[in-house]
Amino acid sequence: MAKKKDSNTLYCSFCGRSDREVELMLPGMNGCICNDCAERAVELSHEYLNKMALSSLPDLDMESLPKPAEIKAYLDQYVIGQDTAKRYLSVAVYNHYKRLNQKHDDEIDIEKSNIIIVGPTGTGKTLLAKTIARMLKVPFAIVDATVLTEAGYVGEDIESLLTRLLAACDYNVAEAERGIVFIDEIDKIARKGDNPSITRDVSGEGVQQGLLKLLEGSVVNVPPQGGRKHPEQKMIAVDTKNILFICGGAFEGIERKIALRMNTHVVGYGNGNHVSKSDRDKLLHFVAPQDLRSYGLIPEIIGRLPILTNLEPLDRDALLRILTEPRNAIVRQYKKLLEMDGVELIIEDDVLTYVVDKSIEYKLGARGLRSLFETIMIDVMYQAPSLGEKRYVLTKEFAQHQLDKSNFDLISKSL
C-alpha cells in the first residue's frame, strides 16, 4: 500500500521500505516507488530491451548483400588504383556479412579476420575506409590511434574507440556489436625500441596491450560520453567478438626493414641483391608480419591482424587520374563551386600536369593535390563571385604565379 492507515508515512510498493529509509520516494495514484527500485527498474528494462533487440535483428539477406566484385566496383568510382587493397577489403567485408548471417547452431565457428593496411601518406587509406562506409549495412566508425594512451594517463582510453561506433547506431548495443571499426594511424602506437619496454610506454606498447582484448573479442565496458571526463557515468557493456577491425598506417621508413630482411640495398652499392631495381621502388609490396614486428608492433597484436595488405605509391598517371576521374574529383569540386555562382571554370591540361609534378616534387601524395589547388584557386574563388563573368580559364602561368606568390616551395620543404 502507498500509506499506512492513520499515518503520513509513505512505503515503497516494491521493496516495502518507508520514505525515512530511502533518499527519494515517488508517489503515484495507487502506490509509491523509491529511487533504488526505480534505478533497478531502468537497468532491467535496458537489459531486456537490448536482449529483445538482439533477438529481433533480422538476418542479413545473402541475396541482397553486395558481392566482393560489386564492393570493389563501388570503390573504383571514388579511389584510383590500389586494386590489391580493394580486393582484400571487399572480401573481408563480404565475409563479415556472411559471418553475421551464420546460424548459431552450426558446428563450424567462423572466426573474424581483422585487417592491417600499410601504405605511404596520401595513398588513400582513410579514403578507402570512408568510401566503403557509405555502402555498408552495418555501423561503421573511423577512429584515430594517435590520441590513445594507457589507462590512467592523459589522453583517451582504449575503450573510447567503441564510443563512436555506438554513436553511429544511436547507442543500440546489439547493432554496434555487428559493426566495423577503422583504426587510423596504427603505426603511431609502435613501441619506441625493438626490445620490450622496461619502463612504461604509455602511448605505444601500453596502448597495443590494451587493444588486444578489443581485437580478439571480449566484453568491454565503454564510456558513453568519452571516458575520464565523466567518471560518474554508467558504462555500456559491448561484446567485440563480432566487430571487424581494419587498421591502417603509413609506417614511415618500414622500407628499410623490408630491404634489410630481403638483403636488398636501398641506397649504395653491393652484391647479393635478390630484388630487381624496378622492385626496389615498390618494397611495400613485399611487406611481411616480421617487418611490422621490427617496426614496433608487438607479436600478439600482429597475430590478431591476420590479413596484411599494402597500398602502392601513386605514380604520375595515377595522380593525374585522381584529379579528374573519381566522382568527387578535386577538379569537379571546384567546377561545381564556381558553377553555383554562375561561372564556368575551364582548366587547361598544362595546369593539371603542373600540379601533379609539384605534388611529386614535394612528396605530398594525393593529399597534396588539394593543398596545391587550394593555393592556386584562392584568388579565383575570392574574386569570381563579384566580377560577374560567366567564364574563367585557369592557365599554367597563373598557377605558377600563385604558387610563387604564396612561397609554397619554401613551406613544403620545411614540412
How would you label 388-407 residue by residue, b for 16+ Cβ within 10 Å and e otherwise?
eeeeeebebebbeebbeeee
**Domains of the chain and CATH, by start:** 1-56 (no CATH), 68-310 (3.40.50.300), 316-414 (1.10.8.60)
Residue whose C-alpha is closest to residue 117's, from 106, 132, 131, 128: 128
**Are 18 and 10 spatial neighbours (Cβ–Cβ below 8 Å)?**
yes
**Nearest 5 degrees, angle CA 64-CA 67-CA 310?**
145
Q: Which pLDDT does position 229 carry in this prediction?
A: 53
Grid cell, residue 250, equals: 603509413
Would you say 226 and 210 are in contact if contact means Cβ atoms under 8 Å apart? no
Q: Measured between alpha carbons, how far is 344 from 346 in angstroms, rounded to an integer? A: 7
CA–CA separation, 52 vs 154, rounded Å?
Answer: 38
Predicted pLDDT at 61: 63
How far is 4 from 169, CA to CA, in rounded Å?
47
Pairing state between β 25-27 and 32-34: antiparallel
Instruction: Name the strand (E) or helix (H) holding 184.
Output: strand 180-184
pTM for this predicted structure: 0.72
Buried b (16+ CB within 10 A) or exposed e, 31-64: ebbbebbbeeeeeeeeeeebeeeeeeeeebeeee
* Closest C-alpha among 285, 288, 327 to residue 305: 288
Q: How far apart are CA 295 and CA 71, in angstroms?
A: 32
Cα separation, 199 vs 201, in Å, equals 6
Q: What is the torsional sign of CA 223, 226, 227, 228?
A: negative
The H or E element containing residue 259 is helix 254-261
Under 8 Å between Cβ of 75 and 89: yes
How many Cα atoms occupy the beta-carbon half-sphere of 215 within 13 Å? 23
Which pLDDT belongs to residue 68?
A: 92
Burial of 248 (0-12, 13-18, 19+ CB in 10 A): buried
DSSP conformation class of 135: T
pLDDT at 394: 92
Residue 230: the pLDDT is: 55
Alpha helices in 105-189 (DSSP H): 125-134, 161-168, 173-176
Q: What is the pLDDT along the chain (415 residues), one digit of tens a residue?
A: 444 443 678 889 989 888 888 999 888 888 899 999 998 888 888 777 766 654 444 555 666 778 899 999 999 998 888 899 999 999 988 888 888 887 766 677 788 889 999 988 778 888 888 888 888 878 888 888 887 765 545 456 788 788 888 888 888 888 888 888 999 889 888 876 555 545 555 556 778 888 888 888 888 888 776 555 555 567 888 889 889 999 999 888 888 888 888 875 555 544 444 454 445 557 888 899 999 988 889 899 999 999 999 988 888 898 999 998 888 899 999 999 999 999 999 999 999 999 999 888 887 778 788 889 999 999 999 988 888 888 999 999 999 999 888 876 555 554 4
